[in-house]
Structure formats: C-alpha cells, structure tokens
Amino acid sequence: MAQLGLGTIYTWSLFNQPIVNKFGWDLNKVALTFSITSFALSFSTLASGKLQEKFGIKKLISICGMVLGMGLILTSRASSLPMLYITAGVIVGAADGISYMKTPSNCIKWFPEKKGLISGISGISVGAYGCGSLLFKYINGSLIASQGEASAFFFWGIIIMILILIGAQLLKDAVVDDTYGNKGINFTVK
C-alpha cells in the first residue's frame, strides 16, 4: 500500500499543461519540476538508511507519507515557479526517495540467507510502486478534469497520505542478528 502511494508521483506529466494553462508559465519551466522531484528522490535515498536506524521503518514511512501528502497539498496553493519547485519538486521528491528504497530493503533484511529469493519477491513491492502511477493516471486525470489542477493536488495529497500511512502500519523492522558483531551473519564453529 505504501509503495502504491509512493509510485503515484509518476503521474506528474498530467499536471504540466493544466498548470501552464492556469498561470501562463513556459511548459519547459513547469516540466522542470519533475526533474527536481527526480533529483530530490535520488539524492534523499542516501539518508534513508540512517533515518530508518533512528526512527524505525514504521515511523519513517509514516513521517514520509505525511510529508509527501503535505507537499502535494501545499502544491495545490503554489502560485509561483519557485514555490512549485520547492513543494512538488524538493519536498515531494525527498519524501518519496527516503521511503521508496526502505520497504524492499527491509524485506531483504528479514531473510539475509535468502537475499536472491527475497530480492525477487520484493520486486512485488517495486511493482506496486509502478502500479501507483498506472492507477493514479485515471484518478488524477479524473480529478483534474472535474475539479481542476489545484483541487487534484489537494485530493491526491490526502489520498496518498492515507494509503502510505495505512501501509506503514503493516511494516515492522527486520531483526538483525548481531550475536557475533556481524550484521545479518551468524557464524557457527564446528
């Protein structure tokens, strides 16, 4: 559920033209927002491991879900390109990036002796991320058509905040075996 909500950011292109139509901004400048989102997403993954150690997976994904949702809600009020870049670019991208890698990597930590199998299974989690954009293509498209782009951002933020928060409550940090000072490795001597 969390990954489904996180993947919805890939519906950004639906918003480009409605934002251009509303504000008269250059399409390239509006489309730059998603490049900022992608950069913030990529860069923020670097901090995700330390943040998970500090807060735990459930709390971290919950916080990121709230921040991501609030970023979209704030985007509904954006009236300048810099504000759009900060809300939809930096805030949304960073929250998504911190969350994105944590659910699959947590799956792998649960079964360190079966990393290959679990990596394949955690592909389901990554698949849910991709399905978020497919599902929300229709949801956001319908919201834009019926309510306008500002309301669509607002409702999108609320919906994914709820999705991610519910999904986060189903997560639990993997227990790392540190018996011999080695994370995830338990050596036995015969």
Total residues found in the chain within this entry:
190
- Domain of residue 164: give its range: 2-169
Q: Quick one: tokens of 107? A: 């799956």
Residue 179: inside a domain, yes or no? no
Nearest to 12 by CA among 66, 75, 99: 75
Q: What is the pLDDT of residue 102?
A: 77
d(CA 79, CA 83): 7
pLDDT digits (tens, 9 = 90+) for 125-148: 778 888 889 999 999 999 999 999
Residue 87: inside a domain, yes or no? yes
Query: Amino acid identity of 89?
Result: G
Residue 57: inside a domain, yes or no? yes
Residue 177: inside a domain, yes or no? no
Q: Quick one: tokens of 135? A: 């599902």
Alpha-helical segments (H) within 12-88: 13-23, 27-55, 57-75, 81-84
Q: Quick one: tokens of 24? A: 């008269």
Q: What is the pLDDT of residue 143?
A: 97
Domains in the chain, number: 1
Q: What is the pLDDT of residue 186?
A: 44
Residue 60: inside a domain, yes or no? yes
Confidence (pTM):
0.85
CATH code for the domain in which residue 55 is found: 1.20.1250.20
Q: What is the pLDDT of residue 82?
A: 98
d(CA 177, CA 190): 19
Q: What is the pLDDT of residue 91?
A: 98
3-state DSSP: the chain helix, strand, coil percent, rounded to 5? 80, 0, 20
Q: What is the pLDDT of residue 122?
A: 64
Q: To which residue do tokens 């002796």 refer?
A: 113
d(CA 89, CA 91): 6
> pLDDT 10s per residue in the chain (190 long)?
888 899 999 999 999 999 999 999 999 999 999 999 999 999 999 988 888 889 999 999 999 999 999 999 999 999 999 999 999 999 999 999 998 877 777 777 777 777 677 667 667 777 888 888 999 999 999 999 999 999 999 999 999 999 999 999 988 887 765 554 445 444 444 4
Q: What is the pLDDT of residue 157?
A: 97
Residue 178: inside a domain, yes or no? no
Q: Quick one: tokens of 42? A: 């990529």
Q: What is the pLDDT of residue 185?
A: 47
Q: Quick one: tokens of 126? A: 């990554």
Q: What is the pLDDT of residue 106?
A: 72
Residue 186: inside a domain, yes or no? no
Residue 52: inside a domain, yes or no? yes
Output DSSP code: residue 122.
T
